Amino acid sequence: MKFVLLFLLVATVGFGVYRISLIYRSIPSDAQSREHARETATPVVSDESLPGLSPPLEASLANATQAGPQALRQWLNQNGAWVPEPRLSAIQLDYAQMLVRTNPAEARRIYAAVKARTPANSPLASRLKQLSRTFE
């Protein structure tokens, strides 16, 4: 009889601990909830969906991007004044990614300049976060 009561007591305590652990695991931690809120707050957008370029500039940008970093730098020097934010920042990030192997110091400088002028609620915030491991 003592054995049966002891077995029931141990089983009840074990089942109670199991249920409490299930409840504890179902509550999201602060880090998980902050990460989820950050992911849902900043939508991921492509560079082409950002406003600011006329069709002729869009075509010349595509040609400069395919030609390489020197052509893109020349394009930015010639047309950068007519490209509004955040599209200009996206193009400069593309340029920095092209430069990262040949001129990492210049790529880091461009990344830091873009990061300094980009607000936290910008459509480029998620891209800056992804590139931070590369450039910092």
Q: Residue 47: what are its φ and ψ, rounded to 5°?
A: -60, -35
pLDDT tens track for 55-104: 888 889 999 999 999 999 999 999 988 888 889 999 999 999 999 999 99
Q: How far apart are CA 81 and CA 104, in angstroms?
A: 25
* Token pair of 114 as six digits: 């873009």
* Token pair of 125 as six digits: 């915030």
Q: How far apart are CA 107 and CA 54, in angstroms?
A: 27
Indicate whether 42 pLDDT > 50. no
Indicate whether 47 pLDDT > 70. no
Domain residue extents for the chain:
2-41, 47-135
Percent of the chain with pLDDT over 90: 39
Indicate whether 39 pLDDT > 70. no
69 contacts 99 by C-beta, under 8 angstroms:
yes
Q: One-letter amino acid identity for 11?
A: A
Average per-residue pLDDT in the chain?
Answer: 85
